[in-house]
Structure 1
Amino acid sequence: MLYLRRTLVLWVTLLGFFARAQENTDNRYAEPLDQVLKKIETRYGVTIRYADTLVKGKLLNYARWRFRPDVEETLKNVLAPFDLTAKKDGDKKYKIGDYEYYRWAVEDGWAELDRIAAQYKNAPEWEARKRTLKQCILEKLQLAKLPSWPISKPIITPLRTYNGYTVANIALAILPGVWVNGSLYKPSKYKGKIPVILNPDGHWPQQRYRADCQLRCAALAKMGAMAFSYDLFAWGESLLQFKTEDHRRGLAMTIQALGAIRILDYLLALKDADTSRVGITGGSGGGSHTVLMTAIDDRIKVSAPVVSLSSYFYGGCPCESGMDIHSCAGGTDNVEIAAMAAPRPQLVVSDGGDWTDKMPEHDFPYLQKMYSWYGKKGDVQNVHLPSEKHDFGISKRTAVYRFMAQYLGLDINAIEDGQGAIDESKITIEEEKKMYVFGDHGERLPAHAVKGFDNLSAIFEAAIK
């Protein structure tokens, strides 16, 4: 009798367990996500690749109800609740990653630009929208009222002289105890006032210390301009004050814009700066920064965003899209923001290996239309390099050199060989430490330097009150 009683208890317990484990409306048909993905692989004959950390411990409600005849639709239904997406990774292969808010399907990006463009039909209507956009962007960046410029002398290293140009490293205070750091390239010999060209860095290894960045700035200096190359926030020497992960915070976008404004304030106050000839060029994230700064700062007269501009890509780093500027005026995108440069000359450099791959097909014609309203259709140009990838290589630099020479009155002959090709061979590539402002190990960083993102946020909030 005791045996029968124990057996009955065991069966009741097991039945209760299986009842609880059974998928039904009581538990919302929940299944572990990793098991669901294995079922998808079996059912559709595909392979799905993912990092364990993306799926570990995640339960999917109404799991089997999300399956559809099409595997891609099924993956979309299954992954959407977790802000995950699946991308094609070969024949019957998929790779799961985080949802990318900043990357749209091409047709979606084009449709959005068409929706935006339908709101204005002529230059006066566009100028009204542009005013609205500019004010909103400044407000979203929290820069509608600029914080006071700290009364602080720039920190400048001794001049280094090379073939046809000089270099000095400079740190400019943009908030109390916070600097933007860079290197100022100038022609070794010149008379009178010369153009100013900002060169923001992009998201490539070695930051502004890279060879291609040095080549570009030195070449522009040899052509007759002062070219300032500067760090992104929490990159380069900014890492003496902040952590790498701080670069991926929304405020990074604001601090970088403030840094560029203060760089212009400083450079354009120099006695040898021609305030009527001011340019900016940057690649990748530096290209997004180029578009933004040209839109909000009328002192910039010529711009050249490189491998960055697209209606279906909003900038994958918070330093490009971390502040909510794209909600302005009922919604905008980077191509419309680039149109805010009109009628100031603008060169768009694109390639076939990134999100600029279709620039000539839809986005550039929109820009041409906007410039045509001012009778300046020829002042927006596109150099498209379909066989090239995402970099700031010689082809891209050549396009920038010739454009800046055309519109800023620079001497392109200074960097050409006997056959008219660009020759950068006489430019010296410096070792990284030579480009530091604060010493080989940061030993010259002032004692009152702000350190840590929380301290920066507090100082910024106090400065804009």
Structure 2
Amino acid sequence: MKYLKTLCLLFLTYFSFAQTADNSFRKPLKDVIAQIEIRFKVKIRYPEDLVKDKWVTYADWRFRPDFEKTMNNVLSSQDITFAKEGEKKYKLQSYQYHLKTPEEGEQQLAYLSTLYNDEASWEKRKEELKACMWDALKLSPLPAKPQSKVITSNKRKMDGYTIENVAIETLPGVYVCGSLYMPIESKGKIPVILNPDGHFGDGRYRADCQYRCAMQAKMGTIAFSYDLFAWGESTLQFKSEFHRKSIAMSVQALNSIRILDWLLSFSNADASRVAITGGSGGGSQTMLITALDDRITLSVPVVMLSSYHSGGCPCESGMGVHLCGNGTNNVEIASMAAPRPQLILSDGKDWTQHVPETEFPFLQKIYGFYDQKDAVKNVHFPTEGHDYGKSKRMALYDFLAINFQLDLKKLKDKTGNVDESKVTIEPFPAMYVFGEKGENLPSNALKSFDTLEKMFGEAPKN
């Protein structure tokens, strides 16, 4: 026994020594990358500041006969990942916390499926997730609502609808701006539709957003499109760089809740028919708000549902919502909409490319717990890319008409096709609430991001 103890001690001493060689076999990361290129006959590109002044310990010891294993061994210690760009071509990028591989996403869905097998077990999981998500966003409890009046201006009359510029104070001195689209003629209670903006160029001012919201109003709904935080008119208060701060996710969630509070205060708003739809980052908001707010009765997330992509902007994933329940993803979050009607719009040229065979069956399983498999739909555009283009809008109009009992004929021309040509595409300034130079910004408008962070109990960061 004494002999064995001595032998174990010798082994431990030996391996401890072997793993801490005094020179650590260090090499500059840039040199190691060049070595990998030569050995595996590949080309690797990267921004210079990504590798500057970085060293790899035990560099040569990390090499393996397999290229990917070698790359993982070398880069894992540097918070750097790599992606394939073509045959024998790769790029390096900072560690993408929000990304997994499609295979890892599929594996996570398989694991999540083991956590529930009926409505009761799923409802328990959903409530646990929801409570955690509210806490992660620092919105439990919700902050006090400012008592200021909603600012409206410049009402315009178009063909079958009106547009009005709107600003709502959602926190003291913090305003979200948007466009309110209303039908000129309507009877009784009518649906409400939120249209959160995504990360497309030109924000809510772009043509496809104007088409979508105007057509919703022409169908007979109250439609509202609105800016991302530190985007559009929000940049009058906060620099655009603050959009990529994590707390933006909380501000945007609160904005949606406050906007819905206001819209449902309208005398003609139908609280039983409330929808939300957005593309890209707006799709992330669509899934999140539907999961959090039971007032949403129908959702249409566009080009965003993915088991392996949680949103590339901190405004989509920076508050740790996806860490709830020991790890979740946008598919499980979207499933929290069940059994409410939901349309998933996906395409073949972004991270939604696998929706028909991977993500959609998972949603169908959850909806099946309620015997409502037909309430969730997927329209996939295999040859299209990351947008909220015309074909996707057509699918939206059809889904809204069916589920909200709206007359799609109002949108059709004499040939029976949905016609967007009578929508007026306005120049950006027409939609500004606070003027072209922000001259109408309220006197209490907050311009300190540090103060905003303190409202959420966040210590300002250097």
Superposition TM-score tier, normalisation by shorter sequence: over 0.9
User: 1:35 matched to which residue of 2?
Assistant: 31
Q: How much does 1:372 deviate?
A: 1.6
Contact 2:138 2:456 in 1 (8 A): no
Contact 2:349 2:384 in 1 (8 A): yes
User: 1:104 matched to which residue of 2?
Assistant: 100
CA–CA distance in structure 1, aligned partners of residues 197 and 434 of structure 2: 19
Deviations 1:22-81 (A, max 9, x none): xx9322111111111111122222211111111111111111111111222212211111
Matching residue within 130, 142, 145 for 2:141: 145
- The 5 A counterparts of 1:15-26 are 25-26=21-22
Contact 1:278 1:408 in 2 (8 A): no
Contact 2:277 2:302 in 1 (8 A): yes
Given the alignment of the two structures, is residue 67 of structure 1 paired with residue 83 of structure 2, yes or no? no
User: 1:455 matched to which residue of 2?
Assistant: 451
SS at the partner of 1:353? coil
* Higher alpha-carbon deviation: 292-301 or 362-371: 362-371
Contact 2:63 2:70 in 1 (8 A): yes
Q: Which amino acid aligns with 1:72?
A: E
- The 5 A counterparts of 1:273-422 are 273-422=269-418
SS at the partner of 1:461? coil
Contact 1:172 1:263 in 2 (8 A): yes
Q: How much does 1:403 deviate?
A: 0.5
Contact 1:175 1:460 in 2 (8 A): no
User: 1:16 matched to which residue of 2?
Assistant: none
CA–CA distance in structure 1, aligned partners of residues 390 and 428 of structure 2: 21
Deviations 1:348-389 (A, max 9, x none): 000000000010102111111111221211110000011100
CA–CA distance in structure 2, aligned partners of residues 398 and 82 of structure 1: 46
Given the alignment of the two structures, is residue 180 of structure 1 paired with residue 172 of structure 2, yes or no? no
User: 1:227 matched to which residue of 2?
Assistant: 223
Q: How much does 1:248 deviate?
A: 0.8
User: 1:13 matched to which residue of 2?
Assistant: none
CA–CA distance in structure 2, aligned partners of residues 418 and 115 of structure 1: 52
Contact 1:352 1:388 in 2 (8 A): yes
CA–CA distance in structure 2, aligned partners of residues 451 and 114 of structure 1: 46
Contact 2:29 2:56 in 1 (8 A): yes
User: 1:8 matched to which residue of 2?
Assistant: none
CA–CA distance in structure 1, aligned partners of residues 160 and 425 of structure 2: 14
SS at the partner of 1:86? strand
Q: Which amino acid aligns with 1:301?
A: T
User: 2:12 matched to which residue of 1?
Assistant: none
SS at the partner of 1:97? strand
TM-score normalised by length of structure 2: 0.93
CA–CA distance in structure 2, aligned partners of residues 418 and 111 of structure 1: 50
Q: How much does 1:417 deviate?
A: 2.0
Deviations 1:405-433 (A, max 9, x none): 11112221111223332210000000001
User: 2:8 matched to which residue of 1?
Assistant: none
> Tell me, which stretches of 5 or more residues in structure 2 are unaligned?
1-19
- The 5 A counterparts of 1:243-262 are 243-262=239-258
CA–CA distance in structure 2, aligned partners of residues 223 and 347 of structure 1: 18
Structure of greater Rg: 1
Matching residue within 48, 54, 74 for 1:52: 48
CA–CA distance in structure 2, aligned partners of residues 328 and 43 of structure 1: 42
CA–CA distance in structure 2, aligned partners of residues 83 and 244 of structure 1: 26
User: 1:211 matched to which residue of 2?
Assistant: 207
Q: Which amino acid aligns with 2:369?
A: W
How many residue pairs get matched? 439
Contact 1:116 1:331 in 2 (8 A): no
CA–CA distance in structure 2, aligned partners of residues 116 and 72 of structure 1: 28
User: 2:438 matched to which residue of 1?
Assistant: 442
CA–CA distance in structure 2, aligned partners of residues 303 and 449 of structure 1: 32
Q: How much does 1:330 deviate?
A: 2.1
Q: Which amino acid aligns with 1:223?
A: M
CA–CA distance in structure 1, aligned partners of residues 325 and 49 of structure 2: 38
Q: How much does 1:214 deviate?
A: 0.4
SS at the partner of 1:159? strand
Given the alignment of the two structures, is residue 168 of structure 1 paired with residue 160 of structure 2, yes or no? no
SS at the partner of 2:146? coil
SS at the partner of 1:404? helix
Q: How much does 1:332 deviate?
A: 1.2
Contact 1:243 1:452 in 2 (8 A): no
CA–CA distance in structure 2, aligned partners of residues 40 and 256 of structure 1: 43
Q: Which amino acid aligns with 2:403?
A: Y
User: 2:84 matched to which residue of 1?
Assistant: 88
Q: Which runs of 4+ in 1 moved over 3 A?
A: 459-462
Contact 2:398 2:408 in 1 (8 A): yes
Contact 1:41 1:47 in 2 (8 A): yes
Q: Which amino acid aligns with 1:131?
A: E
Matching residue within 189, 196, 201 for 1:193: 189
Q: Which amino acid aligns with 1:348?
A: I
TM-score normalised by length of structure 1: 0.93
Query: How many percent identity over aligned positions?
Result: 56
CA–CA distance in structure 2, aligned partners of residues 461 and 331 of structure 1: 24
Q: How much does 1:176 deviate?
A: 0.7
Q: How much does 1:158 deviate?
A: 2.5
CA–CA distance in structure 1, aligned partners of residues 456 and 309 of structure 2: 29
SS at the partner of 2:344? strand
Cα-Cα RMSD:
1.2
